[in-house]
Copies of this chain bind each other. A is one copy, B any other.
Amino acid sequence: MAEDLSQDFSLGEVQVASSPQERFEEYLQSKGQRITQQRRALVECVFEKHEHFDADELLEMVARHAEGASVSRATVYRTLDELVKAGLLRKMDLGGRAVYEHDYGYPQHDHLYCQQCHKLIEFRSEELMEIRDAVAAKHSFRVTGHRLIVSGVCEECSQKRHRRHSPLDLI
């Protein structure tokens, strides 16, 4: 799950004040929290490449990444919460479990969600933002963000007649 990430832009274009690692350490220090090996290992894994992942996948990633330096499941959950609070990650609830993606240094975007293969396809739309802000303004609502998930079936799955994985098509 979580593939086919948008190639419509290069990260290089985006001006990032500092690396995610630095940003996270700033955040921790500002809150009087500590920079531990576990947190460092997790942030490194998370920002190694841009993809959607859940707590379990991150757990595996860390184990593979830095062998020997395994991190407990509880710490993964605790750190993910911190990363969200620090504005580095964005949390989505998809089909029961929480899925995360980069937020810091990554442009605003939304998703097409394939109910068949559970793939997430990213897209961006400036018009969407305009509509969002117009609607909010009409309700005197101060926007901090949004989440749009368009559900359906991706091109690939539409072609394969017989469903393969995906025993149930919820959401």
Residues of A bordering B, CB below 8 Å: 81, 84, 91, 93-96, 98, 112, 114-115, 121, 123, 125, 127-128, 131-132, 135-136, 138-155, 158, 170-171
Contact = CB atoms under 8 A, between A and B. Distances in A.
B135 A170 contact: no
11 contacts: A112-B135, A112-B136, A123-B138, A125-B131, A132-B148, A141-B152, A145-B150, A145-B151, A146-B150, A147-B147, A147-B149
Nearest to A127: B131
B150 A132 contact: yes
**Total copies of the chain:** 2
B140 A151 contact: no
Contacts of A123: 135, 138-139
Contact of A146 (B144, B146, B149, B158): B149
**Most B C-beta atoms less than 10 A away, residue of A93, A145, A155:** A93
